[in-house]
Structure 1
Amino acid sequence: MQKITIYEKPTCTTCRKVSKALTEAGIDFEKVNYYIEPFSKKKLKELLGKMKIKPPELLRKNDVAYKKLKSKIEKLSEEEILTLMIENPDLVQRPIVEVGDKAILARPPEKIKEILS
């Protein structure tokens, strides 16, 4: 099986559920806490490409950080949104699960099955 990487915030309930499901299935994976190891713009673009989504689709729209910046975000280009997401990791939906040339946003946690099959 290809290497599996989960980009997560360890205190996130959904992230913990995905990690637990993989562990219980006996699947080896790597965790990346993107608060400690921030995304580079190149990596975030790569993940978005693998998920086939645009930067605005990866924003955590229910988060306080997004609500505070909403009026600003609505006027930004996709490139500027990427920069903002890197500067404010709370804006990034999680967990992102990457396997080879695919990636998914594992929300709800059951979506992990899509990338493992």
Structure 2
Amino acid sequence: MTTSFDVKIFHNPACGTSRNTLALIRNTGIEPTVIEYLVTPPTRDELIQLIHDAGLTVREAIRKNVDPYRDLGLEREEWTDEQLINFMLEHPILINRPFVVTDLGTRLSRPSEIVLDILPLPQKGAFTKEDGEQVIDENGQRIN
């Protein structure tokens, strides 16, 4: 009997945190659905659902260190959630990443090891992030 787990990652391959998160998912033996959100952005409803299910505010889901954030003056508190969502849909680079969705929940996986809280299978072995930080030991256990 084969058991399958539905895991989806909104991924940016140019982002180290996103690459580490994807690698942690794959370290369980799961091959997730990978959505390169800059190529295929979420719909309005999907984006709102991701933010809600992750327990974030719209502002917490916005990347602040990108040009559109500064150019549009998004640091000003006057923008409504609806307006911020519109900006995120118009400029997907404003969507923080990676969002991961599993049957166990939705997380903005920053740092990448947050994904461990919602993975349905254990890690199969050691894992070291791209920056050299080991987060999973040789027994598949999380290092605190």
Q: Given the two structures, how large is their TM-score scaled by the length of structure 1?
A: 0.89
Structure 1 vs Structure 2: percent identity of aligned residues?
27
Q: Given the two structures, how large is their TM-score scaled by the length of structure 2?
A: 0.73
Structure 2: tracts of 5 or more residues without a match: 121-144
Query: Which of 53, 57, 77 is the matching residue for 1:74?
Result: 77
Query: Which of 94, 110, 115 is the matching residue for 1:112?
Result: 115
Report the Cα offset of residue 52 of structure 1: 1.6
The reply on whether 1:35 has 2:34 as its aligned counterpart is no
Report the Cα offset of residue 28 of structure 1: 2.4
Q: More relative contact order in 1 or in 2 (CA 8 Å, sep 6+)?
A: 1
Report the Cα offset of residue 101 of structure 1: 6.5
Counterpart of 2:73 in 1: which secondary structure?
A: helix
Report the Cα offset of residue 73 of structure 1: 5.2
User: Is the alpha carbon distance of 1:104 and 1:94 closer, same or farther for their aligned partners in structure 2, counting shifts above 3 Å?
Assistant: same
Q: Which residue of 2 aligns with 1:13?
A: 16
- Structure 1 runs (4+) deviating above 6 angstroms are none
Task: Let me know the Cα RMSD of the aligned residues.
Answer: 1.8
The reply on whether 1:83 has 2:89 as its aligned counterpart is no
Amino acid at match of 2:115: I
Answer yes or no: is the 8 Å Cα contact 1:73–1:81 preserved in 2. no
Structure 1: tracts of 5 or more residues without a match: none
Report the Cα offset of residue 24 of structure 1: 2.2
Report the Cα offset of residue 11 of structure 1: 1.2
Query: Which one has a bigger Cα radius of gyration?
Result: 2
Report the Cα offset of residue 13 of structure 1: 1.0
